[in-house]
Amino acid sequence: MSDHPRDANPNVEDVAPGAIDAEEYTIREGILGYVIGLVLATLLTVVSFYVAKSHQFWQPSVPIALVVLAIAQMGVHLVFFIHITTAPDNTNNILALAFGVLIVTLVVVGSLWIMYNLNHNLMPMDQMMHMQRGL
């Protein structure tokens, strides 16, 4: 019980997502956080568009690079705009987020996986038409 991080400081309250409630943050530091977020997000966006348009890269790697860049930018948004942190006051927010990410991954990866297999195992549509017409 006593070694739980919250018990070390009983004044640690949960923090609402999106809020920087802690008193030690000044307005100036808050604005600085948003500016850092904006710069990082702009940088990642520009790199994304460049990678997509450029023909210098090995083409099969481009979609993977784009997905990685997008996930990085989402992380930037979460940290600098929505103020999700790993501090104990954010445990609930992080857990809810982790559950959301789990469901999103299951839905997207599961759908793609199943549909990819179906596409491979089913007869192409034109052959099916021929079968039905008895040709």
- Residue 133 CB, shortest distance to another protein, in Å, is 20
Binding of another protein by 128 (CB under 8 A):
no
9 contacts another protein (rule: CB under 8 A): no
117 near another protein, judged by CB under 8 A: no
CB of 122 to another protein, least distance (A): 13
Q: How many residues bind another protein (CB under 8 A)?
A: 51
Q: Which amino acid is at 105?
A: T
134: left (phi over 0), alpha (psi -120 to 50) or beta: left
In the complex with another protein, which residue's Cβ is closer, 64 or 135? 64
Give the up-direction half-sphere exposure of residue 59: CA atoms within 13 A in the CB hemisphere.
1
Q: Give the DSSP letter of residue 131.
A: H
Coil/strand/helix, residue 3 = coil
Is 107 a residue that touches another protein (CB under 8 A)?
yes
> Euclidean distance between the first and final Cα of the chain, in Å?
75
Q: Is 101 helix (H, G, I), strand (E, B) or coil?
A: helix
Give the residue carrying structure tokens 């192409």. Answer: 124
Residues that bind another protein (CB under 8 A): 6, 10-11, 13-20, 27, 30-31, 34, 37-38, 41-42, 45, 48-49, 52-53, 59, 62-63, 66-67, 69-70, 73-74, 77-78, 81-82, 92-93, 96-97, 99-100, 103-104, 107-108, 110-112, 115
